[in-house]
């Protein structure tokens, strides 16, 4: 990750905020914090301040993925990943100070699934510390999901070996899209309204549709999954994003 820069301290009054005096850092013991922010511009949005907020976060070592969002739910989104949560809160504050309205959000942590704990360390690293966005995969989608706990379909009362078997089948379906789709699954139990956040990066938008459709036939999804709202868009450099929205 990039070394910290002096850009934050050099910013003007609408620029990135400073860490409050006496504030303590807060980091996961394992993995990174992940914050999805879905926004709409307002009449007071300052494009240069938005760009400065993104650059400042990147300068402090975080990864920021700006997205041009399709549809009415939001106009733009930012996915920020890093090992310290107070920096992510400052990034959120900076976007609000720049005049963006945050209309939805999602909080989660990178993780290695309990069904994959035996995998080699080199395979765990991309899950705990993914390098985003992936090259040549600009089609983007995010949705939250949970496992059902109804009397008829209760994932959490199934034996561990049965759950592992179903997730292995689910993973096999997903691996058929290797090279076309990168899936980033982050854990949010106790952190947000659903249990996982799923972020997809794909070569083409129909890759997004096909992978979700295909995996819904797996029993782990067909019987036990519940889905939240979907957001779809295109990974876009923040300067281009401001221009596309008519802010520059």
130: pLDDT strictly greater than 80: yes
Note the pLDDT of residue 18.
Answer: 65
* CA 141 – CA 170 distance, rounded (Å): 19
Domains of the chain: residue spans and CATH: 28-248 (3.30.70.1030)
Active-site residue, selected from the candidate residues 106, 115, 143, 160 = 143
More confident residue, 29 or 117: 29
CA-nearest of 158, 181, 164, 159 to 116 is 164
Mutual angle of helices 160-175 and 205-215, in 10-degree steps: 150
Note the pLDDT of residue 111.
Answer: 96
Q: Are 104 and 35 spatial neighbours (Cβ–Cβ below 8 Å)?
A: no
Query: How far apart are the two ends of the chain, measured CA to CA in Å?
Result: 29
| Tens-digit pLDDT profile for residues 40-60 | 999 999 999 999 999 999 999
CA 103 to centroid of chain Cα atoms:
15
3-state secondary structure at position 187: strand
* CA 115 – CA 18 distance, rounded (Å): 40
Note the pLDDT of residue 7.
Answer: 36
Query: Out of 96-100, 109-113, 121-125, 155-159, which region has the weakest mean confidence (pLDDT)?
Result: 121-125
Q: Which two tokens stand for residue 59?
A: 């300068």
223: pLDDT strictly greater than 50: yes
Return mean pLDDT, the chain. Answer: 91
CA-nearest of 142, 113, 103 to 228 is 142
Phi, psi of 123 (to 5 degrees): -90, -20
Q: Answer whether the bond into residue 155 is a cis peptide, omega within 30°.
A: no
| Tens-digit pLDDT profile for residues 2-38 | 443 333 333 333 467 766 556 799 999 999 999 999 9
Q: What is the pTM of this model?
A: 0.90
Interacting residues of 57 by C-beta distance below 8 A, sequence separation 6+: 16, 64, 80, 82, 87, 90, 91, 94
Question: Is 143 annotated as catalytic?
Answer: yes
């Amino acid at each position: 990750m990039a070394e910290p820069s002096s850009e934050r301290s050099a910013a003007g009054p609408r620029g990135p905020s400073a860490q409050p005096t006496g504030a303590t850092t807060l980091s996961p013991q394992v993995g990174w914090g992940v914050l999805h922010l879905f926004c709409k511009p307002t009449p007071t949005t300052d494009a240069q301040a938005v760009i400065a907020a993104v650059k400042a976060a990147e300068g402090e070592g975080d990864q920021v993925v700006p997205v041009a969002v399709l549809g009415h739910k939001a106009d733009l989104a930012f996915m920020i990943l890093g090992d310290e949560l107070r920096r992510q809160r400052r990034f959120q504050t900076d976007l609000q100070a720049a005049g963006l309205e945050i209309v939805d959000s999602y909080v989660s942590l990178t993780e290695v699934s309990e069904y994959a704990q035996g995998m080699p360390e080199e395979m765990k690293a991309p899950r705990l510390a993914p390098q985003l966005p992936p090259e040549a995969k600009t089609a983007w989608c995010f949705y939250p999901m949970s496992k059902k706990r109804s009397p008829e379909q209760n994932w959490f009362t199934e034996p561990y070996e049965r759950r592992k078997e179903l997730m292995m089948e689910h993973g096999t379906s997903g691996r058929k899209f290797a090279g076309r789709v990168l899936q980033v699954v982050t854990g949010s139990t106790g952190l947000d309204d659903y249990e996982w956040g799923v972020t997809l990066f794909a070569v083409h938008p129909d890759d997004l549709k096909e992978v979700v459709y295909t995996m819904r036939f797996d029993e782990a999804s067909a019987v036990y999954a519940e889905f939240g709202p979907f957001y779809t868009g295109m990974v876009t450099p923040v300067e281009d994003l401001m221009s596309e929205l008519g802010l520059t």
